[in-house]
Amino acid sequence: MQSLLSLSKWQVFAWLIGACLSAPLAFLIFESLQGDSDVFTHLWDTVLWDYIYNTLVLIAGVLLLSCLIALPLGWLTAYCQFPGKKYFEWALMLPLAMPTYIIAYVYTDLFDYAGPVQIALREWFGWQSPDDYWFFDIRTLGGAIVMIALVLYPYLYLIFKTALREQSFKLLQASQLMGMSPLQSFFKVSLPLARGAIVAALALISMETMADFATVHYFAVSTLTTAVYDTWLGYYSLTAAAKISGIMLLFLFVAITLEKISRKNTTVHERQSAVNDTHLYVLSGKYAWFASIYCIVVLFFAFALPVGVLVSYSIDYFDQAWNSEFFLYAWQSLKISLWVSVIAIALSIIVLFYQRIGEQKSKALPGRVSSTGYALPGTVLAIAVLLPLTLLDTKLNEWLEGTTFEPGLLFSGTIFAMVFAYVVRFYAIAQGAVEASYVRISPSLDMASQSMGKNFAQMLTSVHIPLLRGGILTAGLLVFIECMKELPAALLLRPFNFETLATHVFQYVSDEQLELASISALFIVLVGLVPLYFVNRSMEQHNS
């Protein structure tokens, strides 16, 4: 009876969280049921298919390119010894801290027809007009794919590397002894075994890609996100916008389902984790050179070059770009990112805990509905968040009418709205990372802990949470960095006079004058590096 009672308490918690985090989307869908669908029919007849095509090509391109970049890097750093590996291993995560809207701006500035690279080429070769030569056009679908992949590949890199680390070396040694070269072993053993992890990472990347607006907008590539903005803010049709969001959610649902299916197939295997103390392959000669150069090239384009350009902007425009308010903006960014990370992780642990101990068939549902906010583009999410929050505020004000206190927009007009929106958006990342750790905790530990008279809460705090450490750290890192970069929701939901680094940068980016905010942009990257450093160090200490 005791146990039944406490179980239902967790069930209530989990469902409550699920309800809160999916409320914005639910309200959005409810709103969309009222109203006409003329605009949607019009879009359907004209541009929608182009948008869907662009969206699919964009996602496919980003996934493919991310694989090409991240899979070799994951394999090299997990299994091989080569010069500089120790540094590359964590440096390769740096591009995570680079917002897409900044990298897109910097690259356009460099490689545009009117940019320094093409100008230099024209001067060098004496070309006069664009007809004299061919140069790739950065403001295209292809350009957008490259930009997005350059900042999102670290997801795949991080998750894939961890998965490889957990595979037993013996499997690869066995494969090698049976005549497979290291490369063949990679394709025949490592890759299929890490499939679940790869699909999980790709699902994350495709959701991020789908939600991206800044880059595709800047590159004038029309995707479904563009369509949502157009319909909502151009045609002022919430119905059509919600319907298009519905199409995107369908993509998302497919992505999540794929991920779940592949995870289900691998749960049995994942129990065989191994701690491998030494390197499997020691690269030498040209292979070692090749490995190091590959890492350097990726780091150069994804991180060093854009940061270098920002630094050069900062020096050229120092007087205009310097602003003593930076530290305040940085502090506000930091504060909100920390809050969101802690809340998202705490909620995901509760939901996953219920998923583990629950006996109802529906126990996985709270986790699933909670993750739906991830694929919504920032501004859409922001408006969707306003729907329940403003309703709540109105009700609260009505209820308190006649008392001395008039709360006003207690939820929607304060920093609460921002934190809530961020949590809704990034909860999926936290849950994904924590869940990956959770499946590795043996169920017999639960039984052992219960048999020793611990209740659920004690089991959670004294057994699960210490064992989830790795997952929690990864989740914290990813959510934190995403929060630092997040823009549209911050822009729309912030209270008066509240600036984060990202919103400060945006007012200049939106006027195509990033130069004037280059120091703030550097700050975003730098503040993002702080947790990267600490989490990395903490993981290293844990491993050794």
Distance CA 4, CA 222 (A): 53
Total binding residues for another protein by CB under 8 A? 84
Distance CA 427, CA 442 (A): 25
Beta-bridged to residue 282, according to DSSP, are 81
Beta carbons of 106 and 514 less than 8 angstroms apart: yes
Degrees, nearest 5: CA angle 118-121-122: 85
Residue 241 or 256 with smaller CB distance to another protein: 241
- Helix (H, G, I), strand (E, B), or coil: what is residue 74? helix
Of 505, 475, 503, nearest to 155 (Cα)? 475
Q: For the CA atoms of 415, 420, 421, 424, what is the dihedral angle to 10 degrees?
A: 160
Chain positions 176 to 235 lying near another protein, rule: CB under 8 A, are 176-181, 188-189, 192-193, 195, 219-220, 222, 229-230, 232-235
Of 366, 369, 340, nearest to 352 (Cα)? 366
Looking at residue 496, its amino acid is: F
Chain positions 411 to 440 lying near another protein, rule: CB under 8 A, are 412-414
From 203-211, 253-261, 393-401, 429-437, span contacting another protein (CB under 8 A):
393-401
Instruction: Name the minimum Å distance from CB 181 to another protein.
Output: 5
Instruction: Name the minimum Å distance from CB 325 to another protein.
Output: 11
Of 32, 482, 44, 35, nearest to 246 (Cα)? 32
Q: How far is CA 91 from the centre of its chain?
A: 18
Chain positions 468 to 497 lying near another protein, rule: CB under 8 A, are 488, 491-497
Instruction: Name the minimum Å distance from CB 234 to another protein.
Output: 5
Residue 180 or 305 with smaller CB distance to another protein: 180
From 9-17, 407-415, 466-474, 520-528, span contacting another protein (CB under 8 A):
407-415
Residue 105 or 374 with smaller CB distance to another protein: 105
For residue 497, give the DSSP letter: T
Beta carbons of 245 and 380 less than 8 angstroms apart: yes
Binding residue for another protein, selected from 77, 332, 503, 518, defined by CB under 8 A:
503
Residue 97 or 417 with smaller CB distance to another protein: 417
Instruction: Name the minimum Å distance from CB 305 to another protein.
Output: 20
Chain positions 354 to 383 lying near another protein, rule: CB under 8 A, are 379, 382-383
- Residue 98 has phi, psi (to 5 degrees) of -95, 115
Chain positions 330 to 359 lying near another protein, rule: CB under 8 A, are none
Q: Does 273 bind another protein (CB under 8 A)?
A: no
Instruction: Name the minimum Å distance from CB 467 to another protein.
Output: 22
Chain positions 508 to 537 lying near another protein, rule: CB under 8 A, are 508, 510-512, 515
Residue 48 or 468 with smaller CB distance to another protein: 48
Binding to another protein by CB under 8 A, coded x per residue (else -) over 102-121, reads -----------xx---xx--
Distance CA 52, CA 227 (A): 10
Residue with tokens 């993002």: 528
Residue 50 or 540 with smaller CB distance to another protein: 50
Residue 334 or 384 with smaller CB distance to another protein: 384
Sign of CA dihedral 222, 227, 229, 230: positive
Beta carbons of 188 and 203 less than 8 angstroms apart: no
From 169-177, 347-355, 449-457, 534-542, span contacting another protein (CB under 8 A):
169-177
Q: Does 544 bind another protein (CB under 8 A)?
A: no
Beta carbons of 44 and 395 less than 8 angstroms apart: no
Q: Does 124 bind another protein (CB under 8 A)?
A: no
Beta carbons of 296 and 73 less than 8 angstroms apart: no
Binding residue for another protein, selected from 2, 128, 541, 544, defined by CB under 8 A:
128
From 95-103, 301-309, 435-443, 500-508, span contacting another protein (CB under 8 A):
500-508
Instruction: Name the minimum Å distance from CB 280 to another protein.
Output: 9
Q: For the CA atoms of 94, 214, 197, 435, what is the dihedral angle to 10 degrees?
A: 90
Binding to another protein by CB under 8 A, coded x per residue (else -) over 55-74, reads --------------------
